[in-house]
Amino acid sequence: MTIDLPVIFTVLMGVAILAYVILDGYDLGVAMLMPAGTAAEQERMVASIGPFWDANQTWLVLGVGLLLVAFPRAHGIVLTSLYLPVIAMLVGLMLRGVSFEFRVKAEGWQREMWHWLLWFGSFVTSVAQGLMLASYITGFRSGFGYFLFGLIVAGGVCGAYVLLGATWLIWRTDGELQRKAVAWTHWGLFWVALGIALVSLATPMVSATVYHKWFDFPRTLALMLLPVASAGAWAWIWRSASGVREAKPVRDWFPFAGTFLLVLLSFAGLAYSLFPYVVMDRMTIWEAAAHPSSLKLVLAGAVVVLPFIVGYTLYAYRVFRGKAPAKLY
């Protein structure tokens, strides 16, 4: 049996990006929610993500690294076309990292300043990632219509991160902050529903390839299961969050699990829309792939490295499980 190495690396890259969206997405979301909390609640919010936020970015590095080594012909096109939003994302990530560390030593108005910069860095990072995604979907085309599409996608990405952050706080906090997180979750659900609807309507308009892949009936009737399942996940998040607020026998990690499922379904729809292109309408994964000998060598390295990444990630979440105390970070 012949092993299709480009497909394997596409799956690995997709898993790395999905892991980043989920793991770094919730801490970006928590940071964007910080202005809505009191000073004491902000300390608790930072404490809930403090042990994890830095390691969560490992998955972004892994995803970009796999693009570089497995698809070198596409790497230059992708990063050159996304130069400005990539720079904005890196500035946002650096600002977020500096704010995390400096706020610990700051006092008074300076700590408040670093909290606002933490919010700003997270917001810039999220918007930049949304613009990058939109540009990637459209094959890096330019024009006013594509710019509007980019803003819609960026808004949807921000909404998804805020929802992840709110449901994370339901899971990791209690008391008044948890009750606020339930309200933020309900608000975020409407934001995400609007974002998914707008992106779903706009994407076939900006990409003929996506249009044909979505509306090639009856072959694509099975694809209709995705929006049905997404609606079910949406309702699950709403009900489980409401159950936590009303002290019903509902586990407080249920809303986060539902959000994970909602993001996973959206990611599956995106993967279906883009495959097999690594540069939309211009280069497939097989055309962009490195030589098989290089892919085999890198795959051997990935088989060794990935268990360590997964292992220390699981270990960190096990060590810092449970509700986050205010002075944890």
What integer pLDDT is reported at residue 1 of this predicted model? 42
What integer pLDDT is reported at residue 262 of this predicted model? 94
Residue with tokens 């706020």: 103
Q: Please report which residue ranges of the chain form alpha helices under DSSP H.
A: 5-33, 39-49, 53-56, 58-70, 72-81, 83-105, 109-137, 144-172, 175-206, 208-214, 225-245, 254-274, 285-288, 292-319
Confidence bin at 328 (pLDDT 50/70/90): low
β-pair partners for 84: none
What integer pLDDT is reported at residue 126 of this predicted model? 95
- Return the minimum-mean-pLDDT range out of 17-31, 162-176, 304-318: 304-318
| Residue among 210, 212, 206 at smallest CA distance from 273 | 210
Confidence bin at 103 (pLDDT 50/70/90): confident
Rounded average pLDDT over 108-120: 86
The pTM (predicted TM-score) of the whole model is: 0.92
What integer pLDDT is reported at residue 249 of this predicted model? 60
Average of per-residue pLDDT values in the chain:
87
Q: Which of 259-263, 275-279, 316-320, 325-329 reaches the highest mean pLDDT?
A: 259-263
What integer pLDDT is reported at residue 281 of this predicted model? 83
What integer pLDDT is reported at residue 235 of this predicted model? 93
Is the predicted pLDDT of residue 95 greater than 50, yes or no?
A: yes
Which pLDDT tens digit goes with each residue over 233-258? 999 999 999 887 776 666 888 999 99
Is the predicted pLDDT of residue 189 greater than 90, yes or no?
A: yes
Is the predicted pLDDT of residue 218 greater than 80, yes or no?
A: no
Amino acid at 214: W
Distance between CA 128 and CA 120 in Å, rounded? 12
Is the predicted pLDDT of residue 323 greater than 50, yes or no?
A: yes
Which pLDDT tens digit goes with each residue over 293-318? 888 888 888 888 888 888 988 898 88
The 3-state DSSP class for residue 115 equals helix
**Cα dihedral sign, 242-245-249-251:** positive
Is the predicted pLDDT of residue 2 greater than 60, yes or no?
A: no
Distance between CA 320 and CA 316 in Å, rounded? 6
Q: 139 — alpha (psi -120 to 50), left (phi > 0) or beta?
A: left
* CB of 152 closer than 8 Å to CB of 158: no
β-pair partners for 174: none
**Segments of the chain assigned E as strands:** 277-279, 283-284
- Which is higher by pLDDT, 203 or 216? 203
What integer pLDDT is reported at residue 91 of this predicted model? 93
**Cβ-based neighbour number of residue 90 at 10 Å:** 13
Distance between CA 300 and CA 234 in Å, rounded? 39
**Cα dihedral sign, 274-276-282-288:** positive
Percent of the chain predicted with pLDDT > 70: 96
Amino acid at 302: A
Distance between CA 141 and CA 123 in Å, rounded? 24
Contacts of 212-216 with C-beta under 8 Å, sequence gap 24+, read: 213/272, 213/273, 214/273
Cβ neighbours for 74, distance < 8 A, ≥ 6 positions apart? 67, 278, 279, 283, 288
Which pLDDT tens digit goes with each residue over 281-290? 888 899 888 8
* CB of 196 closer than 8 Å to CB of 126: no
Cβ neighbours for 252, distance < 8 A, ≥ 6 positions apart? 170, 171, 178, 244
